Structure formats: structure tokens, C-alpha cells
Structure 1
């Protein structure tokens, strides 16, 4: 890190590299924060979370109880201990509320005055975040498990059984293409698995922050990374990604790191994977029941997770230890423990002779 600071001061390096290095360090040091609470509003499991990117201040949650909650994440107390307050709720008493479980909530990427929700009541609703009233409602013949808008707001992806279709909302002629896990190689596919993204139901999808890739998860315990431009499977091997959810699985991708990371609910924990290599980096544990959703806060490199225990947990980076507390690289203590004091994920990302 010292090398990055010196290079930036001398004008020899792009300041963006220092920012990415620090963002990566913060993500790799995430721990459950016991000083930060989130108002517990939901009477049943938390299915979906989303933080708007305009101010990075407001978070939505959707629950199995059909309730939608709007939170203010700002810390007004000036103290480490604080509670993220609910500032708006669409509860079951509202005539505008969904009748059944809310499966997905998502802010419109370019305007925090609007968000979209979808539910098991076979509807998708576009909401005014000021009045918490729907401005538009779409009815479907089948249950809506998931919807997702690209962060660059040009394409939508819709899920149907084991297939994923990519659409351009400006064209009504049909989908652009269907994702095929075998990339058109019929010799590797059975007759039932042609043009399928997974060998089971697809129950999760998420665009990367730049919109260039799409991640999907399925009940076949697999996660796949796709080129969103041409629909090709990049063949990144994440290994077995335990998928116990029989509804939608809401996972998230970091932004501003090098490399980028994927956070995936796995039972009561959240698995962290390197996006482009598939390496399993670490596991975050804290929920008392299955975790169903997670959302990355890019402004502070923080993570929020929700689960069937009705809790929303905050995971924040651990502050750097004072220089006097840092063990020397060649210390006998580290050697005696047989462990390195440096996470191997750091070395590949931004090692330096001057560190």
C-alpha cells in the first residue's frame, strides 16, 4: 500500500489503482458489525434487498409477508452504535400492497424516485418512492420469481424454468438470445438440455456493475458467468454452489475492486467468490436461519444480508490495525502458527515490492 501512495504522490501511477486496492482490502476484511442494527419490520423472511446508487443512502427490502420497507442508512448519531431507521413501509394494511410474498425489489438505476417490485401474486409494480403508491402494474399468467434490470438500463432478463432469455426493452419482436450452457455444442447436451442455462430451475440472476456480464444460479448447485453481449458461457468454474432456495436467490457483485467478488447466500452463510476465476475466497456466517439475499454497498464496501430469521445484518470492513500492532513479515509468531498473516487474494491483486 505504501508503494501505491508514493506512486500517486509522485504522479507515476493512476490514482484509480490505489482506490481499487483499498476497496479490495476492505471487501476482504468484512466482518459482522454488532454495533449497527437495521429496524426489524418484517414478520417473515427477508427475500430481497437493494441500495440505490444515486446517493447510496436508501435501501429497499421485500419480505415473504408481502411487506416492502424503505430504510435510511445514514448515521445521524455520529457514534459507531446506531440503527438504520425504516422511513416508509407498504404493509398488509395498505390497499396497494402485494397480496403474497414479495420476491424482488429493485431501484430504477438512474432515479431513486422510482422502484420496481414483483410478487407471488403474479404482478410486477412500478412505485413512486415519495408516495409509496404504484404508478404502474403489470399482470402475468404465471408466478413471478425474479426480475432484474441491467445497471445500464438497456436490457432485462426474464426467467422461465431452466432457460434465461435476454431482451432489449426497445424491441417487441422477441428476445435477443437464449443462454446455452454448452455454447451450441450439441455433442455435450442431451436432447432435453438444448439451449438451457442450467440443468435445474434458474432461481437467481444478476448483472455485473458494468453490465458486461450476467451471473445466474440454478437448483443444479451451479453458478455461471455469461457474456451479456453475445450470450456465451465464459466457463468460469465456481465449483458446487450450494443452492437450498426453492424460490428466488438474490446474490450480488462488488464494484470498484480488483478482482471483483460475488456474494452468494449458501444456507445460513454467505459465500464469497472471485468473479472471473471462480475461487472461493471466504464464508460469512451470522444468520440463525437460511440467508436469502444480499446487497453490496459500493460507496463504503459494505454488505447487507437478509434471511428467514427476519433479520437484516450489516457487514463492514475491519479498520486497519496500528502499525505497532502489525506483525513483521518474518516474525517467528506467524511461522510458529504455520500461517501467513497475508490473505493470498491480496498478493495476486495488488502486490508491490515497496509494500
Structure 2
């Protein structure tokens, strides 16, 4: 790390390299923070979490009890031990509360003044954050499993909604025809994943095939499908060039977004017994990037492009349903059926004693992901 700092000071290195190295070190040292609690409000399992992208300070949670909670993640007390307090909640006594389980909550990507929620009560609701009242509600014929807004779109405010009916509806009234939709607007109960052009109502661009078109190697049931089981989770890398999908066949696959090709990265068995949508997430600003995937009562951390299992984060008592990454400080938050939200924080560096010599310091093994390989021209000579 010192070599990276010296190279940066001398103007010999890209400023992003130091930042990525430190971000990677922090992710690799994630641990359950015993000094930070998240106030427990939900009376049943937590299905979904989302941190607003503007400041990275406020977090939404939605639970099986239909309750939505808004948290402030900032430590206003400046004490070492503190609790992330719930600023407000849409509780069971709220006039606009969802009647059944909330499956997805999402902040409006460009403004914390609005967020959205969808529920098994067949509704999608638009909320005014300041008044905590429902500004609008859309009702559907089938159970709503999930919804999603583009994080980068600026010319439209389309919301894609996945329901039990055999179509995906995007408000305002965009409709994509397809089979039974399971969780997100590309996730299918029949194991297929479809990519759509939102500019056209019937604009299916492609269907992802785990065998990359080699039908001779595929059974008739698995042909032209992304997974042999239900697809219940997907997440794009931050640059949008790759897509990760999970299925109840206990597999996770990485796809090239441009070609639709299965990259054949082997993640091994990824235990997935969830009957509903599984919300997993990918790090941002690291090298390599990491995927945080609910794995029964733990969270498995994989390198995205090599499939290596780095570690398992343990702390929940029952199955983990969702996790969300905070890129500003490389923190992770997870929600579980045990009704708890846990905070995973990078371990602090141990302070070096003033009288300690370099030879007396313990030699620690560095992970190759952030090992300092820089040397000056004098050293090379």
C-alpha cells in the first residue's frame, strides 16, 4: 500500500489504482460489526433492502408483514457503538400500508424525495418520502413479485413490474409478452431469462441459453434456458457489461450482456432454496469485483469473473433473503427471515506502536488482490 501512495505522490500512477486497492482491501476484510446495530422494527422476515444512490445515507427495508421502514445509516452520535435508527415507517396502522408481503422497495434513482414499493397485494405504490404518503398506486390482476426502475435513465420514468400473469408490465402501460414471470422483469419460472428493448412493446431481443446454442449437448427440457430450475435472482455488474443470474438449480451464471453468451464461469454449488426472489448485489470500485449472494443463513462472497469463493459471512440465524452494498464506504447490509438487518463493516487496521521497529512488526499475508507490487526505477536497477 505504501508503494501505491508513493507512486501517487510522484505522479507515476493512475489515481484510481490506489482507490481501487483500498476499496478491495476493505471488502476483503468485511466482518459483522458488533458496535453497529440496525433498529429492529419488522415483526417478520425482511425481503428487500435498498440504499439511495444520492448520498448513500438512507436505507429502505420491506418485510413479509407489509411494513416499510426508512433508516438513517449515519452515526450522528459520533460514539463507537450506536444504532441506526428508523426515521419513520409505514406500519400496520398506516392508511396506505400494503396488505401483504412487500417484495421490493426501490429509491427513485435521482432524488430521495420519492421511492416505490410492490407487494403480494397486487399493487405497486409510489411514495412521497417527505410526507410518507402514497402519491399513486397501480393495481394489477396478478400477484406482483417485483418491480424495477433503470438507475441511469433520464428521459423516462418507466417502472417495469413482474406479476403472476404471463406478461411484464411497465408503467406507463408498456407491456412485454412472455411466460410466467417470477421475480424481476427478466426472471422466469420456466428457467428462461429474456432481454427486452423497452422502446417496443414486443421487443424481445434474445433469450439466454446456458448451452450457448449447442443443442446437441442439451436435453429438450433445458434447451434455450438459462437455468434448469426457476430463475429467482439477477444483478448487472456496475458497468452493465455482464449479468449474473441465480436459479433453484443451485447454480449462478455470468452472461455477456452484449452477446448474450454464457461465460461459463464456475461458481460451484450456490445453495438456493428460496421460493421467492433472491436479492443479491455486486461491489463497486474494486479490482476484482465481488458478488454477495445469500446462501442459506450465510452470505457467500465470490469473485465475479473467476468464480472463486472468497469467504462466507455468518451472523444470521435463518435464511438470508437480501443484501445491499454501500459503495461509498464498502459496507454491506443484509436482511433475513430472522427479522434482523445486519451491518458488515471493513475491519479497522491495527494501530502501529510508536516504538515499534519494522523488524518487530508481525508479517501478515497479503491477499494478491491488493498486494503491493510497485517498485521504483532505482530498485529495478
TM-score by length of 1: 0.90
Match in the other structure for 1:18: 18
Alpha-carbon distance in structure 2 between the residues aligned to 1:57 and 1:68: 17
Match in the other structure for 2:365: 342
Match in the other structure for 1:77: 77
Match in the other structure for 1:39: 39
Match in the other structure for 1:288: 317
Match in the other structure for 1:337: none
Alpha-carbon distance in structure 1 between the residues aligned to 2:234 and 2:309: 19
SS at match of 1:193: coil
1:318 to 336, 347, 353: 347
Q: Which runs of 5+ in 2 are unaligned?
A: 161-184, 377-381
Match in the other structure for 1:183: 212
Cα distance, 1:327 vs structure 2: 11
SS at match of 2:238: coil
Cα distance, 1:122 vs structure 2: 2.5
Match in the other structure for 1:252: 281
Match in the other structure for 1:198: 227
Query: Could you give the per-residue CA deviations for residues 97-149 of structure 1, whole angstroms, max 9, x where no partner exists?
Result: 22111111122222222222222222222322222233343333433333344
Match in the other structure for 2:110: 110
Alpha-carbon distance in structure 2 between the residues aligned to 1:328 and 1:182: 54
> Is 1:240 paired with 2:269?
yes
TM-score by length of 2: 0.84
- Number of residues of Structure 1 aligned to a counterpart in Structure 2: 346
Contact 1:59 1:70 in 2 (8 A): yes
Alpha-carbon distance in structure 1 between the residues aligned to 2:153 and 2:115: 13
Alpha-carbon distance in structure 1 between the residues aligned to 2:220 and 2:36: 52
Alpha-carbon distance in structure 2 between the residues aligned to 1:327 and 1:302: 33
> Is 1:273 paired with 2:302?
yes
Query: Could you give the per-residue CA deviations for residues 220-268 of structure 1, whole angstroms, max 9, x where no partner exists?
Result: 0011112223322222111100112111111110001000100011111
Match in the other structure for 2:125: 125
Q: Which has the larger radius of gyration?
A: 2
Contact 1:2 1:354 in 2 (8 A): no
Cα distance, 1:80 vs structure 2: 1.4
Match in the other structure for 1:61: 61
Match in the other structure for 1:228: 257
SS at match of 2:95: coil
Match in the other structure for 1:213: 242
- List 4+ stretches of structure 1 deviating above 6 A: 325-331
Contact 1:72 1:87 in 2 (8 A): yes
Alpha-carbon distance in structure 2 between the residues aligned to 1:9 and 1:228: 38
Q: Aligned pair in 2 of structure 1 residues 119, 19: CA closer, same or farther (>3 Å)? A: same
Cα distance, 1:95 vs structure 2: 2.8
Q: Which runs of 5+ in 1 are unaligned?
A: 335-340
Alpha-carbon distance in structure 2 between the residues aligned to 1:234 and 1:140: 37
SS at match of 1:237: coil
Match in the other structure for 2:137: 137
SS at match of 2:204: coil
Match in the other structure for 1:5: 5
Q: Aligned pair in 2 of structure 1 residues 150, 229: CA closer, same or farther (>3 Å)? A: farther
